[in-house]
Chain A
Amino acid sequence: MTDRPPAAPPPLSLVGVAKSFGMVNALQGVSLELRAGEIHALCGENGAGKSTLVKTIAGVHRPDEGRIEVDGAPTEFASPADAQRAGVAVIYQEPTLFPDLSVAENIFMGRQPLSRGRRIDRTAMYAATDRLFARLGVRIAPERPARGLSIADQQLVEIAKAMSFDARVLIMDEPTAALSGTEVERLFSVARSLRDQGAAVLFISHRFDEVFALCDRITVMRDGRYISTDPVAELTVDTVVRRMVGREVNTLFPKQDTERGEVLLEVDGLTRAGVFSDVGFDVRAGEIVALAGLVGAGRSEVVRAVFGIDRYDFGTVRVAGAALPQGRPAAAMAAGIALVPEDRRQQGLVMEMSIERNATLTRRSALSRFGLLSRRSEEKAAEVWADRLQLKAGHLTDAVSTLSGGNQQKVVLAKWLATRPRVLIVDEPTRGIDVGTKAEVHRLLSHLAGEGLAVLMVSSELPEVLGMADRVLVMHEGRITAELPRGEATEESVMYAATGHKEVA
């Protein structure tokens, strides 16, 4: 297995691929070679361009520069269907099955085996499904509906679907994020058997133990650029991390020391059945508290409930000692809470509205005189914040969708800072924005804490958590499993708590 004929061209390779969205260069000169019979890991921080790369391979995005080669021949993927025909299959973190159709129908959607009179031949379809699952070494009933399958089983259905059209290149985009230990093991044995059958597998994960246990070679990306590709044997976790980060952590996350003041946000026994339970913490003036954990641990759900977007079953939220009624964002705002939400495009901004209207949306009433809003007052208020946050924009009357991700995030921040909050909750404040703006956001958060705001930061980026937070709360499966002061928070201690292990410190 170890000696491959070097002459055979790889089933899929990228050569000098570049892709940009507006002012953001998501990919620049990225080359990648996926060889048959190999599991290839792709590592990089959030925002390093991994997802864009996957979407380019999957035919969702078309590269601005460079080319994709299939078996050494330059190819253009104009659509996901083209990529599929070329033998590329992508397994996403959250599979997208049709919940009301059977497992077999999901696998053979649009390609169902037909019997006489163009009727779907269910018997043949079920038998083919059974054969696919047998090759994967798993048991899922072909005739059961997809609804109710675990995420792990749904992924296996997607893999079976990929095998059914003889995919030779399998992309797995953070497939293990939502899986339990045994499910991960099963997925790995499936991936290994696919490799041994000659497929090229691209595996994306933030978990180094998995990457090192499973993969043959590792490619590192940073800020949309290709950094390196090496066999696993020649790498250590430390080298990979250093290449991913590419800079000293301390210089990027400049948290100043601040005076701690009174408790501004107090959450006690907050419970929402099946989502989070008995969540309690407080945040003081001048403090940045990070809420860390894996995707799906319930962090965003907690801050949404605190702000009043979602309801909760038990518990209390207090701001500066006064209880907050639940389910009312307007009341939370009046009490001085601001929430910069996780999904900028869907929750943070009204994309087709102008920059200035977005920036002043939270202050409609404050800016109006005798009940009437003038364009002038909106413009002036927006200009103040555009200036303060150094917004790079053409005109403030342009739709906010014309801005880059980083500048869009600045508009969201402006919109909330303009309400003069006492408690600022930020959910993934730097997700998908460029490095320069990232540093600006970090400096801003640190500065705000220095001015006496209580900052609660949900973040999935460990370096950000470790660099910014005075205290780290770690959530696992809806509960807070650890509270670590700055001095005790390390990559290991946070990850242990996030994966449900007991604290080591």
Chain B
Amino acid sequence: MAPDVTTPPAGGTALPPRPAGQRSVLQRVLATRESSVIGALLVSILAASLLVDGFASGRNSGFLILDIAAIALIALPMTLVIVTGEIDLSVASTLGLTSAVMGQLWVIGLPLETIAVLCLVLGALLGAVNGLLVTVAGLPSLAVTIGTMAMYRGLAYVILGDQAVADFPFSWTGGATARLSGTPIPWIALLIIVLAVVFGLLLHATPFGRSLYAIGSNDEAARFSGIPVLRTKLVLFIASGTVASLAGVFWTLQYGSARADNAFGLELSVVAAVLLGGVSIFGGKGALLGVLGGVLLLGTIRNALQLADVSSDMLSIVTGTLLVVSVVLPNAIERVRARRRTAEPPS
């Protein structure tokens, strides 16, 4: 090459136009994973409104929101956990254990205010156990949280056995499902939105959020950039446990029943919703808006099928299928794109 290569015509500020492959902002927005989830959501809402009797009513949308409230709450920290390349499968068991502890403490006679606070502390501790096993012991979170999933659920049975505690005061149970005045929308929707904004800002607009993507894409480079990788992961697992317990308190009041088997298997719905929302199971990619879309999409499909009298076994098949599709589809698309790229003649 000629020696004048050291003084290039274009510096960083004077960026040369890209000759080919240049796309408009609109095209780029449409190409994101989030937008395809939102698109799928709109299509399924439209289809359900037209095909399923009773779907498009205010009453039903209230039920739909209550139905997905726990999934939506837990999905928020789960998104951050999966973006860093980890996973927390113990969330549903944390919810169940919280519910069991809540019932037992109520039987003992503690006031519900105190119980709620204790439950959140419990969730933080359960999350910390996961986090410490992942960070200090250096174990893969998949293995750790499968273990604690069984362990926490087992503990729940030890504490409450097969019984249900169902004599919570109506002021609390009714309050949990109360609607915002004059609307069919339950107040929990408000809490979900507030938390979604908090987690969304945290993920997309803070230094902490940036470090999560760096860790998820390449945790070695993150470490070399001075990011405290292990501490960050520990914080996320604690957040995940705490929010799972919050969902547990809500779940118990919503159904007016503390049981050890509450929310059994819910972790799969949460993970399905997050992945459906365009978050990569391999870490480093995803947006919170997409996850909200994923949660709503999952909720819409389940709600519509329930209204159409489809059995619960069928629902579980649908959830599982969505989970697999959400993992397989982005990879397949990526592979097709890569093949198209290599097929292009070298410029």
Contacts and interface: CB of A to CB of B under 8 A. Distances in A.
Contact of B207 (A347, A364, A386, A436): A364
A319 B64 CA distance: 60
Given A392-B8, A436-B5, A439-B6, A350 B218 contact: yes
A387 interface: yes
A209 B298 CA distance: 69
A371 B206 contact: yes
A349 B15 CA distance: 22
Contact of A365 (B7, B207, B224): B207
Contacts of A373: 205-207, 209-210
Contacts of A362: 225-226
A397 to B, nearest CB: 9
Interface string B322-347: 00000000000000000000000010
A393 B221 contact: no
A503 B235 CA distance: 53
A350 B12 contact: no
A390 B1 contact: no
A368 B206 contact: yes
A351 B225 contact: no
Contact of B222 (A350, A374, A393): A350
Contacts of A389: 12
A436 B6 contact: yes
B16 interface: yes
Nearest to B208: A364
B13 interface: yes
Contacts of A361: 210-211, 214, 225, 227
B336 to A, nearest CB: 18
A436 B218 CA distance: 29
Given A373-B207, A374-B205, A390-B11, A353 B226 contact: no
Contact of A395 (B3, B18, B218, B285): B18
Interface string A40-83: 00000000000000000000000010000000000000000000
Contacts of B206: 368, 371-373
Interface in A342-388: 346-353, 357, 361-362, 364-365, 367-368, 371-374, 382-383, 385-387
Given A361-B210, A361-B227, A440-B6, 20 more contacts: A20-B346, A330-B227, A346-B220, A347-B221, A352-B217, A352-B284, A353-B214, A353-B217, A362-B225, A367-B207, A371-B206, A371-B207, A374-B205, A387-B13, A390-B6, A390-B8, A392-B8, A394-B18, A436-B3, A437-B6
15 contacts: A329-B223, A348-B224, A351-B218, A353-B284, A357-B210, A361-B214, A362-B226, A372-B205, A373-B209, A383-B13, A386-B12, A391-B12, A393-B12, A394-B16, A436-B3
Interface of A: 20, 64, 309, 329-330, 332-333, 339, 341, 346-353, 357, 361-362, 364-365, 367-368, 371-374, 382-383, 385-387, 389-396, 415, 434-437, 439-440
Interface of B: 1, 3, 5-8, 10-13, 15-16, 18, 201, 205-207, 209-211, 213-214, 217-218, 220-228, 284-285, 346
